Structure 1
Amino acid sequence: MTPEELLAARDRIVPDVTAGGLRVLFCGINPGLMTAATGFHFAHPGNRFWPVLHLSGFTPRQLKPSEQSELPGYGLGITNVVARATARADELSTAEFREGGQLLTAKVTQLTPQWLAVVGVTAYRTAFGERRAQIGPQERRIGGARVWALPNPSGLNAHWTVRTMADEYALLRTAAFIDSPAPGDNPTPGAG
């Protein structure tokens, strides 16, 4: 991608990867310019979403951003709190986050995922007015879905390594698939 192509992607909207009845709908903050330029979520090479998704057991192999259409087959989807693309999340206003929270609530109500996983606790706090929210499961339900705040997989989030993020994502995976294995799992014969 050239710098010009990336700049031309500013304010674009990237279509969600969704289906009705998902186990987990992952919700990013907003699309970055690489995502908007390519049309694939979490497309920046420094973003750790795809490796973390695999290491945490949500997918049987590490998917490429261009393979995002495979996610609903695993009971997973992707959306964003704010739809428009920016170079950095700090370009978004509090009003945009709050409006995004309202739109996300309507979307989750329509799609009926079991879990909404917001990848960025600060985005969750701002969008839903939950100033004290921490990483992990939340008391709030949105559109009937249980909510989990996860670490932001951006390469700029240096507080979390791929391994520590994968461990946190795995906690959600366990909760989301407790009553049946995730697609691609090979349960032990006779277990269950």
Structure 2
Amino acid sequence: MPKPTAAELAAAREKTVPNVIAPGLSVLFCGINPGLYSAATGHHFARPGNRFWPALHRSGFTPRQLDPTEQDELLEYGLGVTNIVARATARADELTRDELRAGALVLTDLVGRYAPACLAVVGISAYRTAFDRPKAGMGEQRGGIAGARLWVLPNPSGLNAHYQPPALAAAFRELRTSLG
């Protein structure tokens, strides 16, 4: 996948990345919102250094590490990906509390319509704000969402220094093993 130019990145602001989704998935992973790199390429978690794809593989969700350009192959493994907020920004902190909360409502409808067994939100701070659960912790959340289990995982961004690759893979593995 060729690296987007500065002009392509600038033009990606406010764009969206299509959901990778189908009815009855095992897990629908949910990012915060697309970054400019993802919006410019049209692929989720596309920025070099993002650890989503390695974490999926190292945790056993996929038999090999997929490239962002292969995101549609997630469906073959019963997995999908979406975002809380659809519009691309340079940084997640550009999103407002109202946008995150509105995104949670849209996400709840999406989960109700597609009925995945589990929704896994990657990013604790965005989850806490979007769902108005300021004290939520990592892992499974009580009550679920629209009939699905609800799980919070660490943000796989390379900027998340709290979770290095082994710990990130372990968090994803905990979800995978809980599915049975």
**TM range, smaller chain:** over 0.9
Alignment partner of 1:79 is 2:82:
yes
Alignment partner of 1:168 is 2:174:
no
Indicate the residue corresponding to 2:112 in structure 1.
109
TM-score by length of 1: 0.91
Distance 1:109 1:151 in 2: 24
Q: Secondary structure at the match of 1:141?
A: strand
Distance 1:7 1:93 in 2: 20
Distance 2:127 2:97 in 1: 11
Distance 2:50 2:13 in 1: 18
Shift of 1:175: 1.2
Alignment partner of 1:99 is 2:105:
no
Shift of 1:140: 2.6
What percent identity do the matched residue pairs reach?
A: 61
Indicate the residue corresponding to 1:126 in structure 2.
129
Shift of 1:143: 0.8
Q: CA RMSD in A?
A: 0.5
Distance 1:140 1:29 in 2: 21
Indicate the residue corresponding to 2:14 in structure 1.
11
Shift of 1:12: 0.2
Counterparts of 1:153-164 in structure 2 under 5 Å?
Answer: 153-164=156-167
Q: Secondary structure at the match of 1:171?
A: helix
Distance 1:3 1:55 in 2: 32
Indicate the residue corresponding to 1:29 in structure 2.
32
Indicate the residue corresponding to 1:44 in structure 2.
47
Indicate the residue corresponding to 1:188 in structure 2.
none
Alignment partner of 1:140 is 2:126:
no
Alignment partner of 1:59 is 2:62:
yes
Q: Which consecutive aligned stretches of 4+ in structure 1 deviate over 6 angstroms post-superposition?
A: none
- Name stretches of at least 5 consecutive residues in structure 1 with no aligned partner: 179-192
Deviations 1:139-185 (A, max 9, x none): 03111001010000001101100110000100000112x0xxxxxxx
Distance 1:154 1:163 in 2: 14
Distance 2:61 2:104 in 1: 25
Distance 1:28 1:85 in 2: 11
- Name stretches of at least 5 consecutive residues in structure 2 with no aligned partner: none
Higher gyration radius (CA): 1
Shift of 1:46: 1.2
Distance 2:143 2:153 in 1: 15
